[in-house]
Amino acid sequence: MRQQFKVYLLALGFVLGVTLKALAEEPTFITIEVPGATSTTPSDINSSGEIVGRYVSADSSVHGFLRSRCGEFTSIDFPDANLTVARGINSHHDIVGAVRFPGEPTANRHGFLLRGGSFTTFDFPGSTITFAYGISPRGDIVGTYTIANVTHGYLLSRCGEFTSIDFPDARETRASKINPRGQIVGGYVTADGKTRNFLLSEGEFRTIDLPGDFAAFVEGGGINSRGDIVGAYCDTDTEPCIIGSLTHGFLLSRGVFTTIDVPGSIGGTGAGAINSQGEIVGLDVGSQVGFLREPGEDED
């Protein structure tokens, strides 16, 4: 009897051990919501866990925000602007985004850099619209610009030099994020109107293939120092891929594709950025609040 009891305890311990390990491996989702906002959209997260994005206040005005690792929110508003959107943050706490000023057409945007408490604006030469989406630790900035209703990606070097980014034979190109190695991710529209994501590494473009015949979003998506990529896709090949109930986030790490869905979400999920620790931020489309996804043990 004593021997049987010992075997039972060992078996129970094994089962509990497997169960606890499985629970520990599950990723954790944390809600990101600016107090009093009607919507909160995180756009980037740096290696320190600081998050930036945009929120819409009760009076429908649009502001940027910074969320500290401890969960404290700070509004980001460019002086005298009537719209500020924060899109990217690096490990030195430099923040980039887009801004519009009173009296300008609704569609107008200028890129901005917030560094050491000081704001500066920039525009791709000749453009009417310039967005800044990501900034590397070295200070290189990526984003989009529009000239004659055609959208292109760009790289703005830390020395102030602009370079266009255009996927070969694409109708339009958007650059979303840049990692410490200088690798850039973004999206493009094919000649026949399909939307696809890309990786630009060492001067060479590569389409990011998703399982099945899925359509990737043009906007959004991120890459970390390890080369892990996040973004969003639809589980249908219908074009265009519209944000909604058919939307899922994804993680592509070491060739392994993982779908990301906020538990209980009824409006779709979009993943926008990933840091070196594997923490992912994005949007729960149905509730219009953001999320922080902390990785499970099997993703470390």
**pTM for the full predicted model:** 0.89
Question: Quick one: pLDDT at residue 218?
Answer: 57
Question: Quick one: pLDDT at residue 15?
Answer: 39
For residue 69, give every residue at least 6 positions away whose Cβ sits within 8 Å of its Cβ, in sequence order, or none: 48, 49, 50
Question: Quick one: pLDDT at residue 242?
Answer: 58
Residue-wise pLDDT for 41-51, tens only, equals 999 999 999 99
Question: Quick one: pLDDT at residue 203?
Answer: 95
Superfamily of domain 31-221: Peptidase/esterase 'gauge' domain (2.130.10.150)
Query: Residue 291: beta bridge partners?
Result: 31, 282
Question: Quick one: pLDDT at residue 144?
Answer: 98
Question: Quick one: pLDDT at residue 23?
Answer: 45
Give yes or no for a contact between 217 and 228, defined as CB atoms under 8 angstroms apart.
no
CA distance linking residue 296 with residue 171, whole number of Å = 39
Question: Quick one: pLDDT at residue 13?
Answer: 42
Tell me which residues of the chain have a pLDDT lower than 50.
1-23
Question: Quick one: pLDDT at residue 34?
Answer: 98
For residue 71, give every residue at least 6 positions away whose Cβ sits within 8 Å of its Cβ, in sequence order, or none: none
Residue-wise pLDDT for 226-255, tens only, equals 999 999 888 766 555 655 556 889 999 999
Question: Quick one: pLDDT at residue 9?
Answer: 33
**What six digits make up the tokens of 42?**
């995180």
CA atoms within 13 A on the CB side of 60: 0
